[in-house]
Structure 1
Amino acid sequence: MKPPEIGVTNRHVYNLPEAPISTLTVEQFVSDAQELTQLMRVRFHQDKIYVMGLSWGTILGTKLVQQYPDLYHAYIGTGQMVNTTENDRMSYEIALRTATERNDSGTADKLRRNGPPPYTGNGMAMKYAMYNNILFDIMGSARLEAVLLLAPQFAREYGLLDKVNFARGLVESFSVVYPQLQDLDFTTQASKLDVPVYFLVGRQDINAIASLVERYYNVLEAPHKELIWLESGHGASSEEVLDAMVNHVLTQATH
C-alpha cells in the first residue's frame, strides 16, 4: 500500500526555525521523529519502516512505536534504556567502586561529593560525564569528550557550523531534556508494544545495564520479541547490527 502524500518538502525541512533549547521536551522529539517517519515513507515509497534506537535513541524509539505502531515493521534497540534513574545509580556505583579499587582517590572523592544521580542544574552534564567516562574506560571505549569532539567531524551531512556547535548543543539540550526522564520506567510505562521488538544487548554494557534490559524483556508483551546477546559493551557494532537484521529481523518478517 502506498503511503499517503504529505505536504512537506526538502525546502520546508531544512528551513525550519530553530527551537529555543529551554522549550525542548521529550514529547517534541517523539513528534519530530514521527514527522521524519512520514517523510521517509513518502521518499522511499514504503507503508512502514523499521526503527532502531541506540542509548538515548532507544527512549525515543520505544515511545515512537508505542504511540504510532502502524507506521513501523519492528523496533530494534541496542544500548536499550529502561529505567534511567535506577540505571544511572547502578552505573554510578560501578564507577565509584572501580575508582576506589584503582586507588584513584581523587576521582573517588569527586564522585562522592557529586553523590549518586539524578543530577539537575548547573554542571549536571559534567557530573554524568565523570562517572560515565569510567564506565566507557572499563568497556574499552573512547571517553565521551573524544566522541563529542571527533564524531561530528566525520559526518559529511554536517556543515562547519554544525560541527562547531555539536558538543555545545548536546550539553545544553541534555541539561534541559534529561531531567524529564527521571521517572522513566518502561517495565510499567511500555510493558506492551504492538510491533515486533528486538533487543541487541551487550553482555559487557554497564552504561545501559544489561540486567535491566533483560528484566524489561521478561515483562514485555509484543507480537514477537527477541533478546539477542552480544559480546560487546554499549551499543552493537555495525557487523552485529547487520547480522541481527539479516538473521533475525528480516527473517522473521518473511514468515
Structure 2
Amino acid sequence: MNDNFKTNKRISMLQQLLINDCEQTVMINGDDRSNPLLLFLHGGPGTPQIGYARKYQKKLEEHFTVVNWDQRGAGLSYSKDIPESSMTLDQLTADTIHLTERLCKQFGRQKVYIAGYSWGSVLALHVLQKRSDLYYAYIGISQVVNIQKEEAEAYRQLTAWSRERKHRLLQKTLDFIGAPPWDGQVQRSLFLLCIEMKGGGFTHNPIGALKAGGRMLFGEPYGVRGSFLAARGQMFSLKHLWEDLIFFDAGKSVSSIEIPCCFMSGKFDLTVPGTTSYEYYQKVEAPYKEWHWFENSAHSPHLEEPDRFAEVVSRFASFHL
C-alpha cells in the first residue's frame, strides 16, 4: 500500500493489489474516509481514467471515498504477461466482486456504491446479476444497452443532421461508410470520427477531451510511461473484450436490477445515444429508479458537468444508505 497523503479524515492513496492472480492498480481519494465508498468502473473496454479523474471529482470527494480502478489489462494494470484467456467479461466480473470485498474489509463496510460508465456499465450490470448484495445502489452513466442498436440510432441521427445542415463532408463520409452493422473496425473508426465532428463523442466540447488527454500524458500518476501503457492496454482490451461488448443486450439479459438505480446521459451523446438508454431505464425493473439528462454533455457527463454530477449522485445516495 502506497499512502501518499493521509490526515485523520482525508484519504489519498494509490495501491497495487493482487486481484485473482493479476496485479491491478487502484486509486482511492476522499475528504473524509468515513464517507460511503463509491467504486467507479471505467469505460472502454480498456479506457482507464486514473490519469485524469482527480481533476473532475473534487466535489464528488466531498461526499464519497471514490475508488478508481484500472481494470485487468487496462492502464497501469496492463502487462504483457496477462494471459489472453483471462480477458473475458466473466473474469472482469469476478475481479470487480473480489475488489469490492477487499474494499469492504479494508474500510470496515458492509456495502459500497457502484458506478459504471459506458463499457463499465456493461460490467456493472453483470456484477449486479451475481452479487447485488454488496452494493447500496447503482449509478449508470451513458448506459450501454445494445451496441448494434445504438450504432444504428446514432447513424440515423447523424445522417438526418448532415442532410438538414447540408454538411457535405459528413454526408460523404457517412455514405462511404454505409449503415451499420459493419464487418470491420475501419468503418467503425470512421464513424467515431464523424461522431466527434458532430460533438457527440467523448466530450461535446473537443477542448474537454484534449484537457483530459493532456492531464493523463503530463500529470501524475500516469505521465508518458503510463499513457503508453494505457494505449497498449486499450488495444489489448478491445481485442479480447470486443465480442463481449458487441453481443451484449441488456434488454434481454438484464430485465431487472435488485437495488436502486440512477441513470444519466448527455443530451449530445452519439457514442451511446441517450434515447436507447432511456428506453432501457423505462423498462428495467428495480426497487427505485431515476433518470437525469445532462444538457451540456455528450458521452462523459461526469467529466463535462462534474459539479452537477456530484450533486445528483450525492442526493441519490443519501436516500439509499
Please tell me the TM-score bracket, short chain as reference. 0.7 to 0.9
CA distance in structure 2 between the partners assigned to 1:177 and 1:124 by the alignment? 19
Count residues in correspondence: 245
Equivalent residue number for residue 274 of structure 2: 210
Consecutive unaligned residues of structure 2, counting only runs of 5 or more, are: 1-14, 25-78
Instruction: Say if 1:198 and 1:225, in contact at 8 Å, map to a contact too.
Output: yes
CA distance in structure 1 between the partners assigned to 2:100 and 2:198 by the alignment? 33
Q: 1:34 to 1:211 in 2, by over 3 A?
A: same
Q: 1:143 to 1:110 in 2, by over 3 A?
A: farther
Between 139-148 and 36-45, the greater mean CA deviation after superposition? 139-148
Between 121-130 and 177-186, the greater mean CA deviation after superposition? 121-130
Give the alignment of 1:32-111 within 5 angstroms.
32-111=95-174
Equivalent residue number for residue 3 of structure 2: none
Q: TM-score, normalised by structure 1?
A: 0.80
Give the alignment of 1:181-220 within 5 angstroms.
181-220=245-284
Equivalent residue number for residue 170 of structure 1: 234
Between 213-222 and 158-167, the greater mean CA deviation after superposition? 158-167
CA drift at 1:56? 1.6
Instruction: Say if 1:96 and 1:108, in contact at 8 Å, map to a contact too.
Output: yes
Instruction: Say if 1:53 and 1:60, in contact at 8 Å, map to a contact too.
Output: yes
Q: Which amino acid aligns with 1:66?
A: Q
**Paired residue secondary structure (2:18):** helix
Instruction: Say if 1:52 and 1:76, in contact at 8 Å, map to a contact too.
Output: yes
CA distance in structure 2 between the partners assigned to 1:20 and 1:114 by the alignment? 35
In the alignment, structure 1 residue 239 sits paired with structure 2 residue 302? no
In the alignment, structure 1 residue 249 sits paired with structure 2 residue 314? no
Equivalent residue number for residue 197 of structure 2: 134
CA distance in structure 2 between the partners assigned to 1:206 and 1:129 by the alignment? 9
CA distance in structure 1 between the partners assigned to 2:84 and 2:208 by the alignment? 21
Equivalent residue number for residue 92 of structure 2: 29
CA distance in structure 1 between the partners assigned to 2:158 and 2:208 by the alignment? 15
Higher helix share: 1
Instruction: Say if 2:111 and 2:136, in contact at 8 Å, map to a contact too.
Output: yes
CA drift at 1:151? 5.0
Q: Which amino acid aligns with 1:167?
A: A
Consecutive unaligned residues of structure 1, counting only runs of 5 or more, are: 1-8
Instruction: Say if 2:122 and 2:245, in contact at 8 Å, map to a contact too.
Output: no
Equivalent residue number for residue 287 of structure 2: 223
Q: 1:154 to 1:118 in 2, by over 3 A?
A: farther
CA drift at 1:53? 1.3
Instruction: Say if 1:133 and 1:144, in contact at 8 Å, map to a contact too.
Output: no
Between 197-206 and 93-102, the greater mean CA deviation after superposition? 93-102
CA distance in structure 1 between the partners assigned to 2:236 and 2:16 by the alignment? 27
Superposition CA RMSD, Å: 3.1
Between 216-225 and 97-106, the greater mean CA deviation after superposition? 97-106
Over residues 98-131 of structure 1, what are the superposed CA-to-partner deviations in whole Å (9 max), with x where a residue is unaligned? 3444544344333323223344545366234223
Equivalent residue number for residue 4 of structure 1: none
Equivalent pairs: percent with the same residue? 24
